[in-house]
Amino acid sequence: MHPMLNIAIRAVRKAGDHVIKSLEKPQSIEVANKGNDVVTNIDHEAEAIIIETILKSYPDHCIIAAESGTKEGRDKECQWIIDPVDGTKNFVRGYPHYAVSIALRMRGRTEVAAVYDPARNELFTATRGAGAQLNSLRLRASQPRDLTGTVLATGLPFAAKQHAESYLKIQNALFVECDDMRQSGCTALDLCYLAAGRVDGVFKLGQKPWELAAGELIAREAGAICADFTGNTNYLTTGNIVAGNARVVKPMLAKIREFGSDALAK
């Protein structure tokens, strides 16, 4: 196993255990607004656990964290991207669908990823070029021939409501072609579920890098392809992602081009 994946696994498990344990005293969970989203003291505490775990082994590495921002290290080629609780809105409502997400990028490429769902004790991992696993079992994404019979994971663009009209047009066009859709509120798990064959495709817009970085590597290592809304691979920058096998991604991109606004084509 990649030594840095070992550290990622240790960090997501420690943070996930803290998140789950916090539910034993729900009165101690403090919720605050964060732009269009929410944040809790548990997010901050879990993030601190992750950062401490990483820097204990790699003190010179850089950190990009959802809550505390960027921490510059001396080693500019190694960058950890952290989301301590992806799906905080679910977490604060007692909806058990959220995850701890960690990715390591080296020289601009994502090398290792770990996504931990503490509610189900499911650990999704990947190392670039070595495949993806769920609790150490190899994952393979589904291989549908087209959109017929597929289940697509998506999400309403609460953080990018200026695109709501275009999004709903795209969603409607895709819904006519596919079998069903899921809106789970956790992008990291959407991509991991794609890797596990639980859904057949993912399309989301307005995402942050820490919501995408780990899950997209896990999806790709399970055989999916990931693209932005123009068909390129700038989804960590644009925040817009389409993922699945080629026969799913191609018609999804066609619907996005047909029904999306010009602003989404950037």
Give a yes or no: residue 145 inside a domain: no
Residues 168 and 127 in one domain: no
Look up residue 113 and give its two tokens. 């990823």
Residues 155 and 238 in one domain: yes
- Mean pLDDT for 123-134 is 98
Say if residue 200 carries a ligand binding annotation.
no
Could you give the CA distance from residue 61 to residue 111 in angstroms, rounded to a whole number? Answer: 14
Per-residue pLDDT at 74: 96
Query: Which CATH number fits the domain that encloses residue 198?
Result: 3.40.190.80
In a domain, 90, yes or no: yes
Task: Report if residue 11 sits inside a domain.
Answer: yes
Please tell me the total count of domains within the chain: 2
User: What are phi and psi for residue 235, nearest 5 degrees?
Assistant: -65, -30
117 labeled part of a ligand binding site: no
pLDDT, tens digit, for every residue of 227-266? Answer: 999 999 999 999 999 999 999 999 999 999 999 877 676 6
Classify residue 89: in a domain, yes or no: yes
Q: Is the same domain home to 133 and 199?
A: no
Is residue 230 within 8 Å of 215, Cβ to Cβ? no
Domain membership flag for residue 144: no
Whether residue 103 sits in one domain with residue 63:
yes
Q: What confidence tens digit (pLDDT) does each residue in 45-73 have?
A: 999 999 999 999 999 999 999 999 999 99
Instruction: Please report, as a single letter, which amino acid is at residue 245.
Output: N
Residue 143 lies in a domain: no
97 half-sphere exposure, CB direction, 13 A CA radius: 13
State yes or no: pLDDT of 133 exceeds 70: yes
**Residue 60 resides in a domain:** yes
- Which pLDDT tens digit goes with each residue over 174-229? 999 999 999 999 999 999 999 999 999 999 999 999 999 999 999 999 999 999 99
The pLDDT of residue 36 is 79
Domain boundary among 81, 103, 138: 138
- Strand residue runs (E) in 30-139: 31-34, 37-40, 61-65, 69-71, 75-86, 99-106, 109-117, 122-127, 132-134, 137-138
Residue 161 and residue 99 share a domain = no
pTM beyond 0.85 = yes
Does residue 28 fall inside a structural domain? yes
Kindly indicate the confidence band of residue 163, based on its pLDDT and cuts at 50, 70 and 90. Answer: confident
Provide the residue range defining the domain that includes 114: 3-138
Asked which of 138, 162, 185 is the last residue of a domain, the reply is: 138
> Is 75 found in the same domain as 40?
yes
Predicted local confidence at residue 266, as pLDDT: 61
